[in-house]
């Protein structure tokens, strides 16, 4: 019986820290998700900028035709966490 009480006391003591750890992980996950979204947006903007017809950059990157999605990138691999 004494062992059970000690085990319960230790578990009760650890529960708040476990909750704080889980809460911190969720905040980190949210921040990573936000950064991935920003990165994707900036990458798309750069792609549009370097593939505008008539620009020197477009002629250097013929594998990325203007207005076409980036080839070779599996866009289904991006996770959307809601």
40-67 pLDDT, tens digit each: 999 998 888 887 766 665 555 555 555 5
- Domain extent at residue 19: 1-33
CB 27 within 8 A of CB 21: no
Alpha helices in the chain (DSSP H): 2-50, 56-60
Does residue 78 sit within a domain?
no
Q: What domain count does the chain have?
A: 1
Does residue 46 sit within a domain?
no
Does residue 20 sit within a domain?
yes
Does residue 16 sit within a domain?
yes
pLDDT score at 12 = 80
The pTM assigned to this predicted structure is 0.51
pLDDT score at 39 = 94
Q: What are phi and psi of 19, to 5 degrees?
A: -65, -45
Does residue 18 sit within a domain?
yes
Does residue 55 sit within a domain?
no
Does residue 63 sit within a domain?
no
Q: Is the pLDDT of residue 31 over 60?
A: yes
Q: Is the pLDDT of residue 82 over 60?
A: no
Does residue 75 sit within a domain?
no
CB 30 within 8 A of CB 13: no
pLDDT score at 74 = 55
């Amino acid at each position: 019986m004494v062992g059970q009480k000690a085990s319960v006391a230790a578990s009760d003591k650890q529960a708040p820290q476990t909750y704080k750890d889980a809460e911190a992980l969720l905040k980190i996950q949210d921040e990573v998700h936000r950064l991935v979204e920003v990165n994707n947006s900036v990458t798309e903007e750069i792609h549009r900028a370097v593939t505008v017809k008539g620009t020197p950059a477009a002629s250097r990157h013929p594998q990325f035709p203007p207005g076409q999605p980036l080839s070779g990138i599996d866009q289904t691999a991006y996770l959307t966490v809601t």
